[in-house]
Chains A and B, each alone.
Chain A
Amino acid sequence: MSASPTAALFVTCLVDLMRPEVGFAAARLIERAGFQVVVPRQGCCGQPNYNAGDREGARKLARAAIAALEPFDIIVVPSGSCGGMLAKHYPELFEASDPWAQRAIAVAGRVQELTQFLAAHPLPETGKLPAGRVAYHDSCSSLREMRVHDEPRALLAAHTDAELCKLREAETCCGFGGLFCVKYPDISAHMARDKCDAIVESGAEMVVSGDLGCLLNIEGTLDKRGSAIRVRHIAEVLAGDA
């Protein structure tokens, strides 16, 4: 057995379902950073239920996720949104008297968003990957819950030839919002339209983000417009799959 340290990959159900290639890219990056990747059996972190007001349903899912993740010292999530659920909301999910509360807090403290993890555990030098003109979209939960901002930009600068385009209103939500885009599709579409306008104006050839929800929203909107701008997860770009 290898003596390298172990990191658990919480792949997120959206990646699991829609874009498994993002999960494989993330796993390769974690391995290249010198870690052995373990993927514990996993379902959903419970965020859809939590944000819909179904706290009991969220607890049910959280208990399963906590049990799966608590053996690991490092838990890497290729999503600020699911990462934020684990790191920021799990500690508030259970009543203080509930024995799960302490376990939730323990797991929360070990969660790292993928680019946070890669910033702390650098990848070996491998020459610059081609990326071209890139607009980086900060997902709201990466930015505000996980406090990720500089890490993905630094990684792109270190490992790719990406030329970052200035994105107007970069800190404004793209309109995905989980169930929001299903419950309020008109408002969501309006916000996505504004975001895609800004992306087109930026002159970017590729939009990169750390959250698949935003990416599906942006990619779907750009495709409907007939735009040729590519939309990729940061893991794919750094792994050379973009």
Chain B
Amino acid sequence: MTALDFKGRAARAMHDPQLSAALLRVKSHFVTGRNMAAARFADFETLRDRAAAIRRRSIARMPDLLERFEASAEAAGAKVHWAADAAEARSIALGILKAAGAKTALKSKSMVTEEIELNAYLEAAGIQPIETDLGEYIVQLRGEKPSHIIAPAIHLSKQDVADTFRSHHTDLDPERDLSQRNTLVREARVKLRAAFLSADAGITGANMLVAETGSIVLVSNEGNIDLTATAPRLHVALVGIEKVVETWDEAGTILRVLARSATGQDMSSYVTCLTGVAGEGETGPKESHIILLDNGRSAVRDTDRREILACIRCGACLNHCPVYASIGGHAYGSIYPGPMGSVLSPAIDGLKAHADLPNASTLCGRCEEVCPVRIPLPKLLRHWREDGFARHLPPRGERVGLGLWSWMAGRPLAYGLSQRLARLGLRTLAWMQGGRVRRLPVVKGFTATRTIAPPKGGSFQARWKGPR
């Protein structure tokens, strides 16, 4: 996926009526759900304060907690691996699967596996990954990427899903009725059930690592994670190093804010907690690996953007973002879209690959207002802009303009002169264009959909004569 043409992708997305309809559902379902869930809880703001403190404490103590997690997990029989980047994580995962002779691998929805583009890598090596989350399964069949971190197929309609199933489930009656959502859900259930009972390996991500017991915690609503992580003989989890917390008490608080912020549920339908390997008389895999992925996370921890590591991937910032609501997830050119993605993606792939993302925000602050762990996303976006400005990434015209403005707007004479020139310019344009400015030179975009009433008379400061 290239990040070179953000504006082009955004423009295309905004001209897609089906996407617009889908994005309206994000507002009506997720936003309403989150508000109602927050209102039902006696003191959600205090719970958020606690969750925020827990995540910051975890980030501050990351090296100690990761070592403790590793020791506990290995004591319980899992094997912990460390991967510096995407390539190393892929290679470790493939090595484990190959050593176990796995040919098929179930997958539950995992943003980290999307981040490292694991599926394509496994397929090239002859291992078939099977996405089991319904939304991921649909986008996998279509050869697409998820467009939302918790609702991967949010950009698609029921009809798209029906068409996808009809063209891929070729063993079924091509004339079957797929007009109902529950028929589609049932068809996927039956298709995937066979895979659950026969696959060699299960690959998951993790929502949290609990250091005190070496456990990984995952949430889902479908129940696919429970099956993915327990039915095959081998389990591999890929997890970002920032996901660690110390205790179950901490994990419990995070779970309480997570589901409420994500889907408006008080608790996700399935919370799956995995510790080590199956012992004598237990159901589950006898072999379990946890791959801890850095991929830019430790580096961002050393910057003024470190708070992004507190993110618990609930998606609330996407759901409440007016830019996401306009352009959807794919336009971002990163598998982490929306405000959290615009902070995290440059940390992973470098700012040059995503130079538009921190800028493509009005900094309206709604994301920060709903973030369950109170990440100051507008501030972090601004820090990326500062980083970009220091590296001369914005276009030359913008940099020169800002430099000129900061020189001029603090000097009364120069400022006054610039105001007079601007007013003269606007009035001249308006006079030429029938009373209002209808076409601005240079910043043509503003007047493509707007007009400007020219200012009347002199500037305020030129006319202000002091107290009357």
Does A touch B (CB under 8 Å) in the complex? yes
Q: Is B68 an interface residue (CB 8 A)?
A: no
Is the beta-carbon distance between B403 and A57 smaller than 8 angstroms? yes
**Which residue of chain B is the closest to A179 with respect to CB atoms?**
B398
Q: How far is the CA of A185 from the CA of B447 in the complex (A)?
A: 9
Most buried by A among B323, B388, B446, B449: B449
* Closest chain B residue, CB of each to CB of A191: B322
Segment 365-381 of B: residues with Cβ below 8 Å from A: 365-366, 368-369
**B87 neighbours in A (Cβ, 8 Å):** none
Which residue in A42, A43, A140, A224 is a CB contact (below 8 Å) of B364?
A140
Residues in B neighbouring A11, C-beta threshold 8 A: 460-461
**Cβ-neighbour of B359 out of A144, A183, A189, A224 (below 8 A):** A183
List chain A residues, Cβ under 8 A from B423. 17
Contact call A43/B450, Cβ cutoff below 8 A: no
B457 contacts A172, C-beta separation under 8 Å: no
Look across to chain A and name the residue whose beta carbon is closest to the beta carbon of B442. A182
Check A20–B388 contact: CB distance below 8 A.
Answer: no
- Taking the complex as formed, is A21 at the interface, i.e. its CB lies under 8 A from any CB of chain B? yes
Q: Are B445 and A20 in contact (CB under 8 A)?
A: no
In the bound complex, CA of A36 to CA of B463 (Å): 17
> In the complex, are the beta carbons of A54 and B365 less than 8 A apart?
no
Q: Does B382 sit at the interface, judged by CB under 8 A?
A: yes
Least CB separation from B457: chain A residue: A20
Would you call A176 an interface residue if the criterion is a C-beta within 8 Å of the partner chain's C-beta atoms? yes
| A186 and B460 contacting across the interface, CB-CB below 8 Å | no
Residue of A nearest to B369 (CB): A144
Do residues A187 and B10 form an inter-chain contact, with CB atoms below 8 A?
A: yes
Would A44 and B410 count as touching, CB distance under 8 A?
yes
A18, A49, A180: which contacts B362 (Cβ < 8 A)?
Answer: A180
- Say whether, besides A176-B362, A217-B450, A186 and B461 are in contact (CB < 8 Å): no
Q: B41-49, B128-136, B334-342, B411-419: which one contacts chain A? A: B411-419
Cβ-neighbour of B467 out of A21, A38, A181 (below 8 A): A38
**CA–CA, A14 and B388, complex, Å:** 26
Q: B403: which A residues are within 8 A, CB to CB?
A: 54, 57
Known contacts A54-B389, A182-B445; is-contact A144 B366 (Cβ 8 Å): yes
**Which positions 387-436 of chain B face chain A at CB distance < 8 Å?**
387-390, 394, 398-399, 402-403, 405-412, 415, 419, 422-423, 436
Residue of B at shortest CB range from A63? B410
* Chain B: minimal CB distance from A64 (Å): 4
Residues of B within 8 A of A219 (CB): 453
Closest 10 CB pairs between A and B? A185-B445, A177-B362, A220-B450, A53-B385, A57-B406, A53-B389, A64-B410, A173-B364, A44-B409, A140-B364
CB pairs A–B below 8 angstroms (20 shown): A16-B461, A17-B459, A24-B463, A39-B461, A39-B466, A43-B408, A43-B412, A44-B409, A48-B405, A65-B410, A171-B366, A172-B325, A172-B364, A177-B363, A182-B443, A184-B359, A191-B326, A219-B453, A223-B436, A223-B453
Show the binding face of B for A, using Cβ within 8 Å. Answer: 7, 10-11, 14, 27, 322-323, 325-327, 359-366, 368-369, 382, 384-390, 394, 398-399, 402-403, 405-412, 415, 419, 422-423, 436, 443-453, 455-461, 463-464, 466-468
Which residues in A have some Cβ–Cβ distance to B below 8 Å?
A: 2, 11, 13, 15-21, 23-24, 27, 31, 36-39, 41-44, 46, 48-58, 60-61, 63-65, 140-141, 144-145, 169, 171-173, 175-194, 216-217, 219-221, 223-224
Question: What 13 additional pairs, Cβ within 8 angstroms, besides A145-B365, A175-B322?
Answer: A13-B409, A13-B415, A18-B455, A43-B408, A43-B409, A46-B406, A52-B389, A52-B402, A55-B389, A61-B405, A180-B362, A183-B360, A224-B450
